[in-house]
Structure 1
Amino acid sequence: MPYNLFTSFARLPLIFRILIISLIFIFTFGWIVHIIEPDQFPTLFEGVWWAIVTAATVGYGDYAPKTVGGRLAGIALIMVGAGFLASYFVTLAAIAVTKQNDLLKGRNVFKGKKHIIVIGWNERSREILQTLGNHNKDQSFTLIDETLRLNPLPNMNVHFIQGCSNLDHVLIKANVFDASKVIITADPNKGERQADMGSILTLLTVKGLNPNVQCIVEILTSEQVANAKRAGADEIVQTNILTSFVMINSISSHELVTSLLDLLNQLDKRKLTFKPATSEITNMTFLELSQLLIKDSVLLLGIKRGEETLLNPPHPFKIIPQDQLIVIK
């Protein structure tokens, strides 16, 4: 029995072992001084109080031993108990520093819910985190990257996880089970095909752990779009197509591209949104609805119907209940 008790004690974390030893010394010496000097320490509580302030080297002086035996007990408590109590506070401070370092280095598990997981660190992910974080201070984010050594945004509500995003234990540390969305960006350190393969592998891992989470994936090569859809991507962003469109049009019309970029910069304020079609606007034509919304300073760009997106559909195009309105507020 004593061996089992000692074994259980030895398995406790260091901070708990030091705390238990300190408490044993405090209560023991508090009881001893109460026995030696019952007039000076009439109750056990006064003895324990004296032992605490003595071991902590505070020394209020409200209770002090008068006899030689009581003072010898005080000397022994300072020599032994104060060391353990100081060790406890030093260990507590070391644990706090270690926890902070682990948080910065991406070693801690994220325990929140309804967060957005961003995979990969690059200029796109930086812009995503900063823009979304500035618009919604209460939204939590988790950044997963294997190249970073420290959290690049420690002053924002971003929890960093250091590791490879296609490994189960890394995604579990990011609490992928309770995430609201996962954004997978292309790795800028790899070739386009290798980056797409890595993104799709990460997508398969995410969907394997949480099939219901919404996944937005950046794909660089058009031939991998079909594979991304098969892997379960809810939204696919083809950044190379967007870049090519801008560069091609800049050759023929520089002014048009400048205007387009200015428009995109304005939309960076998240003014472009989806609005569900309500029963009041069902069966209205696109033209009638556009004129109605413009009175409220809302510009109707198009309609998302199922998988199809229709920009400025021809008249008479009628709104149905399943439509999503693409508007600029």
Structure 2
Amino acid sequence: MRSLPQQMLLMFIRLPLLVRTFLIAVSLITFFGIIAHFIEPESFPTIFDGVWWAIITASTVGYGDFVPNSTIGKITGILLIITSAGFLSSFFVILSTAAAARQNEHLEGKMTYKGEGHYIIVGWNERSREVIYSLVNEQKSATIALIDETLKKNPLPHSPVHFVQGRSNQDDVLTRANVQSAIKVIITADPTKDELQADMNTILTLLAVKGLNPRVETIVEILTNEQIANATRAGADEIIQTNMLSSFVMLQSLASQDIVTSFLDLLYQLTEKKLVFLNAEQDMLEKDFAEMSFLLLQDGRLLLGVKRGGATILNPPQPFSIEKHDQLIIIT
């Protein structure tokens, strides 16, 4: 059974080095301030005056408003400088070192993100770069956690991007990105792997994300058609087939360059506008698609089609009535 002093000593030893150094410095300064008051009460009328003199002396500022006049008082000052000044200097050195280490940990992606309601983007590439720039420009308050194992430090240190270094399919890495509090996770394909390996890595990351936060909305990039079903089974809310889009553009370029140019121009214009889904309201039900299109166009909104269940119907054949649970695809 340890005695009370032993328990207190053990508790003191377990404190962080910064706290221990600070407590030692404060204790020594307070001790010498009290001693100075009792040695020379005429020079240090109150204990506070003695402590004030000890702080100024230990910090080597030396205002000169309180000074010891006796020999023993001067010896006390010498002992104060030899002991307390060293601990006080050590405290500030440790403090600055800790601040620098914390900053390095933040840049190197070793710190845990504490925010909530943020986006998580997996993988650093041109696609994720554009997504981050768009989010930052469109949503000034958006916060983003970027996960990547190839980067050594934050590629965007002056933006609202918290970098997390590590493999995205590991629980501890996703926890450092605070996936439990994220509102959306975007998983991009790893360009350093072949297509099948990239898709497998994407699905593993998706499984890890859904295991930690089943409710978070996930958008995944899949390169091969064979892995679309696996991504769906793993819980992907949206699947983007970038290879299919690229193949479509290439195929259309064989027929006519003008078609591709117009298609790309349309995509560029969409970046300045917003493609949204509008749930069919009560007053929209049973209305004809053409009539609904005319009404929306008067408000400056272009109706492209309808999402009904799992099917997306663009420019549906007439007559076509809006039904309950339909989602209108609109450009605003």
Verify same fold: TM over 0.5. Answer: yes
Instruction: Tell me which moved more, 306-315 or 23-32.
Output: 306-315
Instruction: Report deviation, 1:41.
Output: 1.6
Q: For the residues of structure 1 that align with 2:77 and 2:285, how far apart are their CA atoms?
A: 86
From 320, 323, 326, the counterpart of 1:320? 323
Q: For the residues of structure 2 that align with 1:44 and 1:70, how far apart are their CA atoms?
A: 14
Q: For the residues of structure 2 that align with 1:191 and 1:306, how far apart are their CA atoms?
A: 34
From 296, 302, 312, the counterpart of 2:299? 296
Instruction: Tell me which moved more, 19-28 or 262-271.
Output: 262-271
Deviations 1:72-106, CA, capped at 9 Å, x for gaps? 21121112111111111111111111111000000
From 278, 281, 284, the counterpart of 1:281? 284
Q: For the residues of structure 2 that align with 1:82 and 1:325, how far apart are their CA atoms?
A: 72
From 237, 241, 246, the counterpart of 2:240? 237
Is residue 55 of structure 2 the alignment partner of residue 52 of structure 1?
yes
Match of 2:64 in 1: 61
Question: What's the C-alpha RMSD, in Å, of the aligned pairs?
Answer: 1.2
Aligned to 2:272, what secondary structure does the other structure show?
coil
Aligned to 1:284, what secondary structure does the other structure show?
coil
1:126-141 map, 5 Å: 126-141=129-144
Aligned to 2:162, what secondary structure does the other structure show?
strand
Q: Percent identity?
A: 56
Q: What amino acid is aligned across from residue 92 of structure 1 in structure 2?
A: L
Deviations 1:105-161, CA, capped at 9 Å, x for gaps? 000001111111111111111111111111112111101111110111111111010
Instruction: Report deviation, 1:47.
Output: 1.1
From 250, 255, 258, the counterpart of 1:252? 255
Q: What amino acid is aligned across from residue 199 of structure 1 in structure 2?
A: T
Deviations 1:185-210, CA, capped at 9 Å, x for gaps? 10100110111011011111111111
Instruction: Tell me which moved more, 268-277 or 141-150.
Output: 268-277
Q: For the residues of structure 2 that align with 1:19 and 1:218, how far apart are their CA atoms?
A: 52
Deviations 1:32-70, CA, capped at 9 Å, x for gaps? 011111122222111111111111111122222222222
Match of 2:161 in 1: 158
Is residue 105 of structure 2 the alignment partner of residue 102 of structure 1?
yes
- Extract unaligned runs of 5+ from structure 2: none
Q: What amino acid is aligned across from residue 292 of structure 1 in structure 2?
A: L
Instruction: Report deviation, 1:270.
Output: 4.7
